[in-house]
Amino acid sequence: MSIFLAEFIGTALLIILGDGVVANCVLNRNKGQNGGWIVITLGWAMAVFVGVFTVGKFSGAHLNPAVTLAMAVAKNITWDLVPVYMAAQLLGAFAGACIVWITYKQHFDATDDANSKLAVFCTAPAIRSTIPNLITEIVGTFVLIFGVFYIAKPQVGLGAVDALPVALLVLAIGLSLGGPTGYAINPARDLGPRIAHFFLPVKNKRDSDWSYAWIPVIGPVIGSLLATAAYLALQ
């Protein structure tokens, strides 16, 4: 399997299961409606597990431009592969979000709250404040990338065996740091579905909140670079 196809499929699976658990919890007339934060964070952790488990041996299962950037800076992959990884991740996230919308279309139609519909696709802050929101995404991504470096040490590799520790790492971030912004910690995870929300004919939808959209992109990039610097300084 090519790197592009692996990252596309892995990221699509991540979003199908991750955005899917949000849809199950927040949209009307679902069996999981009002499932709450624990269900959502567990669902996202399992989404990471499935994504990493399925494509880890083919591409390393980055599924996240912040991870790809960190691996390139640390010279674990060559820079010419970065556009391939990132394009596949963004397109996979877009495709995954479209599949969630198709799967839950009746429930989107049955939901009046436009903010809940948007929440299925992308993140939004609990308290909107630029600097604190940005810092939250930086800190969350720092923890993710720093942990991934040690899980993905060359002598171990990042494949099926490592899917569970990565999932538990994401679960810990969601439970401990996810409250302020919904822990995007992944530019493709937020931007791809946000673009899908913009283009899809979601019934009675609101705008896609583009004024906030840069924070789940820039925050993870900064967090990734800081975590990489910290990891390399310790080697």
Q: Is the pLDDT of residue 161 over 90?
A: no
- CA 205, CA 53: separation in Å to the nearest integer? 34
pLDDT value for 163 = 87
Q: Which CATH architecture has domain 3-229?
A: Up-down Bundle (1.20)
3-state secondary structure (DSSP) of residue 123: coil
State the pTM of this model. 0.96
- CA 104, CA 150: separation in Å to the nearest integer? 37
- CA 122, CA 202: separation in Å to the nearest integer? 14
Q: How far apart are the first and last CA of the chain?
A: 32
Amino acid at 27: L
Binned at pLDDT 50, 70 and 90, residue 157 comes out as very low
The per-residue pLDDT for range 183-222, each reduced to its tens digit, is: 999 999 999 999 999 999 999 999 999 999 999 999 999 9
Q: Is the pLDDT of residue 35 over 60?
A: yes
CB 199, CB 221: distance < 8 Å: no
Q: What DSSP letter does each residue of 85-101 carry, written as one string?
A: HHHHHHHHHHHHHHHHH
CA 178 to chain CA centroid, Å, is 12
In a 13 Å sphere around the CA of 139, the CA atoms on its Cβ side amount to: 16
Q: Which two tokens stand for residue 19?
A: 């955005």
- CA 54, CA 190: separation in Å to the nearest integer? 21
CB 232, CB 222: distance < 8 Å: no
The per-residue pLDDT for range 212-227, each reduced to its tens digit, is: 999 999 999 999 999 9
